[in-house]
C-alpha cells in the first residue's frame, strides 16, 4: 500500500512562484517515474512534468522554461518548482508515481495523490 501526499499549493499572484512537494510512503521497493499532472476547471487532466528514477525529465510545452521537476530519492519525494506563474496555470495539481512492490510479483502500480489546489490570480 502506497500513499502520496501533496503539499505546497495555494494562492499566488501572476509572476510569482510556488513549490509543490509530494511524498510517497508505504510498501515501496522502488519508485520508477514520478510526475505531476494538473486539471483545470472544465478541462481534462494533463501531464505537467515527469522525472524518471535516473533523473530524466519531461515537460509539457506550456510549462517549459518556467517549471522544474526534481526528486529526492532518499525521501521518496518529488518536487515541482513553479516560477513565472500565469493565471492559466490555475488547476488542481496531482502527483503520481509508478511504484514497484518488489518480489515476488514485481508488478508496478500507479498511484495518485489527492491533489493540491494552485490558484494564480491576475
Three cell numbers, residue 55: 533523473
The DSSP call for residue 61 is: T
Kindly report, residue by residue over 94-105, the tens digit of the pLDDT: 999 999 988 888
pLDDT above 90 as % of the chain? 93
Task: Summarize pLDDT for 37-66 with one digit per residue, the tens.
Answer: 999 999 999 999 999 999 999 999 999 999
Give the integer Cα–Cα distance in Å for 25 and 3.
5
Beta strand pairing status for 18-26 and 30-39? unpaired
Instruction: List the one residue out of 54, 50, 73 whose CA is nearest residue 63.
Output: 50
Categorise residue 119: left if φ over 0, alpha if ψ from -120 to 50, beta otherwise: beta
Amino acid at each position: 500500500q502506497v500513499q502520496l501526499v501533496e503539499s505546497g499549493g495555494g494562492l499566488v499572484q501572476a509572476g510569482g512562484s510556488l513549490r509543490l512537494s509530494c511524498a510517497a510512503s508505504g510498501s515501496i521497493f522502488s519508485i520508477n517515474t514520478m510526475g505531476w499532472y494538473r486539471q483545470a476547471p472544465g478541462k481534462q487532466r494533463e501531464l505537467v512534468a515527469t522525472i524518471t528514477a535516473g533523473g530524466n525529465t519531461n515537460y509539457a510545452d506550456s510549462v517549459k522554461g518556467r517549471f522544474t521537476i526534481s526528486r529526492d530519492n532518499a525521501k521518496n519525494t518529488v518536487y515541482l518548482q513553479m516560477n513565472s506563474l500565469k493565471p492559466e496555470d490555475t488547476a488542481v495539481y496531482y502527483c503520481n508515481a509508478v511504484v514497484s512492490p518488489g518480489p515476488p510479483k514485481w508488478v508496478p502500480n500507479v498511484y495518485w495523490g489527492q491533489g493540491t489546489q494552485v490558484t494564480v490570480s491576475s
